[in-house]
Amino acid sequence: MTTTLASGRAARRQTMRRIRPRRNPAVPLLLALWTGAGGVLWLWWHNTPSVADRTAQVLGAGRITGLLAGYLMALVVLQMARVPALERRVGSDRVARWHAMTGRYTLCLVIAHVFLITWAYALQAGKDLGYLVQQFIDLVTQFPDMGKAATGTALLLFIGLVSIGGIRRRMPYDAWYHIHVLMYAAVFLTFWHQIAVGNEFAVEPLAKTFWYGLYGTVTALVLWYRIITPLRLNLRHRMRVEAVIEETPGIVSVLISGRKLHRMGAEAGQFFRWRFLAPGMRFSSHPYSLSAAPRPGMLRITVKAIGDHSTRLRDLEPGTRVWAEGPYGALTAARRSRGKVLLVAGGVGITPMRALFETLPGASGDITLLYRANSTHDLALWDELAAIADERGARLMYAVNSPDGERPDISAESLRRKIPDVERHDVFLCGPPGFAQSVYEALRGAGVPARRIHHESFEM
């Protein structure tokens, strides 16, 4: 059985109004971040009169690594705040990559800071490296707020450990997610010793004011976008499960009703983080894309059962309360720069592509959708896609395994054969990482510029 939603003409008109000239907000953001880092370096240099001897060199290195670690900690939390300017314009997956990279640099700087400062104080006491453990204990017990800093550093090390690829992949998503939230506690605990014992903040009152302003702003953004905004959204729209419908074996659609849902600001291609207030699911929040354009009283997600949370969706009862955060993601019509568009979906990656297929403005023949699945039985939402294609004069193609299991050829040559002017298209791509990478390479080989291949991963 498949769900069928009403025509998307109204959604296409709304999408056309939202399309704006293309721009890359990552550039000014990165410039601002590097300017801040430059300011931190200047502050250190301004307050470092000499690095002539070994002790001064080690101490200076310890101070600068600490300052940079403190600056990056604020950025790590900012990247967790789900600020719309980042999530919707830069892209959630790109922000997630920034967060992971910044977190790794922060952890390395924290480790270097602890080692170098401890070593510097040992040198001042006339001791060698063998005295480091005792010197570290002395620092923690004798200096203000150092006990908090040590606890926060231990939390950072723990979070870094469980975020290592091999360990992360073996952990349940919910366990990893809740451990990751400990980052807030780690940053809070390590902040106070920066102000209490940091030389730069003792001699430069403006530096202390800037540091309070930086951390205060980030804290305000977290409180607003992680707590207050979701609370307002859910109190206003009061969402509940309307129905759960099996699309294909292992894939279900969840229809979610509520008040004035079209005013949530969601666009085709975006996703929410969903929490279903049912037994065993209350403390789990997972990202799922909209599989249709928002309607005034209805949203829909379509999910493949690949884990405990997604498997339980099929058992949701109508009337179950729903808590959502979002919308997030930048895989929207705003990325479009050409008249012709190719949508490529792999597996359950069809969900945002189906919404875009319905809503992207275009004349007959401008929109093409290529759907990759293991078999025709796995082509979820196919009847809807076919109806949309007929209504819009769009092209709809699928690529499935042969009866003997041979995978279809999706290469530069096959793409050029099926879509002769593929290099003149914008391409929206969604699917498993391996599939997305192979299709990306095929598109590049077919002459599609990288700037016109739009991909966003929702595995966060």
Q: What is the pLDDT of residue 125?
A: 86
H helical segments located in 181-306: 183-197, 199-203, 205-222, 229-237
pLDDT > 70? residue 8: no
Residues contacting residue 225 through CB under 8 Å, at least 6 positions apart = 81, 82, 83, 84
Cα 19–Cα 23–Cα 24 angle in degrees, nearest 5: 130
Please compute the mean of the pLDDT values over residues 214-241 and round it to a whole number: 96
Fold category of 334-455 in CATH: Rossmann fold (3.40.50)
Return the minimum-mean-pLDDT range out of 22-26, 65-69, 87-91, 377-381: 22-26
Residues contacting residue 101 through CB under 8 Å, at least 6 positions apart = none
Percent above pLDDT 70 for the chain? 93
**Domain 26-232, architecture per CATH:** Up-down Bundle (1.20)
Q: Give pLDDT tens digits for 297-308.
A: 999 999 998 888
Q: What is the pLDDT of residue 21?
A: 40
pLDDT > 60? residue 10: no
Please compute the mean of the pLDDT values over residues 178-192 and round it to a whole number: 93
Please compute the mean of the pLDDT values over residues 90-108 and round it to a whole number: 88
- 237-248 core/surface letters (b: 16 or more CB in 10 A; e: else): bebbbbebbebb
pLDDT > 50? residue 294: yes
196 or 49: which leads in pLDDT: 196
pLDDT > 80? residue 1: no
Instruction: Evaluate whether 121 touches 140 at the Cβ level (below 8 Å).
Output: no
Return the minimum-mean-pLDDT range out of 330-334, 382-386, 409-413: 330-334
Question: Which has the closest alpha carbon to 58: 135, 147, 153, 150?
Answer: 135
| Cα–Cα distance measured from residue 193 to residue 166, given in angstroms and rounded to the nearest whole number | 33
Domain ranges within the chain, ordered by starting residue: 26-232, 238-328, 334-455
Please compute the mean of the pLDDT values over residues 77-90 and round it to a whole number: 84
Q: Give pLDDT tens digits for 34-63.
A: 898 899 999 888 888 777 788 899 999 999
CB atoms within 10 A of CB 391: 12
What separation in angstroms does the CA of 406 have from each of 217, 238, 380?
A: 55, 47, 21
Q: What is the pLDDT of residue 5?
A: 54
Q: Give pLDDT tens digits for 252-281.
A: 999 999 999 988 889 999 999 999 999 989
pLDDT > 90? residue 330: no
Q: What is the pLDDT of residue 16?
A: 43
Please compute the mean of the pLDDT values over residues 109-134 and round it to a whole number: 90
CATH 2.40.30.10 for the 238-328 domain, yes or no = yes
Q: What is the pLDDT of residue 171?
A: 84
Q: Give pLDDT tens digits for 416-449.
A: 999 999 999 999 999 998 999 999 999 999 999 9
Please compute the mean of the pLDDT values over residues 112-121 and round it to a whole number: 94
The one-letter amino acid code at 298 reads: M
Q: What is the pLDDT of residue 128?
A: 75
